[in-house]
Amino acid sequence: MEKKTDVTESQDPKIGIVPVAMPNASEEAQKRLLELQLKMAASSINHEYARMQFEDTGESLEREELIEVMNDCHRQYNEARVELAAYDPYALAEFEADLMRQKQTTIARYNA
């Protein structure tokens, strides 16, 4: 009897987290660029989830804590963004566009 495997691929856009260094960049430089992109992606998504929690809560203490979380995420994102922009502003713009599409897709599913 033949086994069939049903493998489906997601049609959702994915964030292209690929180091934006020049081909001649050292392995260390490529690793740092990847770390910056991951930091941007994680802080952006964490900010979005904190914002949604903020909208869903009426408790003032929890709202204050969420504001702190969102501010910290914003700071981390901007720190990584500034450093990444120094390497390649066009790659940064492409990465941010991919990140925005992924957030919209993820958040739309979360809210559905």
Quick check: helix, strand or coil at residue 98? helix
For residue 4, being part of any structural domain is answered with: no
How many domains does the chain contain in total? 1
Q: For 11-39, how does the pLDDT look when each residue is reduced to its tens digit (9 = 90+)?
A: 555 555 555 555 666 888 888 888 999 99
Closest CA to 54 of 73, 80, 32: 73
Is the overall model pTM greater than 0.95, yes or no?
A: no
The 10 Å Cβ neighbour count of residue 68 is 11
Q: For 45-70, how does the pLDDT look when each residue is reduced to its tens digit (9 = 90+)?
A: 899 899 999 999 999 999 999 999 99
Domain span at residue 63 reads 27-111
For residue 6, being part of any structural domain is answered with: no
For residue 22, being part of any structural domain is answered with: no
For residue 59, being part of any structural domain is answered with: yes
Tell whether the model's pLDDT for residue 3 goes beyond 70. Answer: no
For residue 5, being part of any structural domain is answered with: no
For residue 19, being part of any structural domain is answered with: no
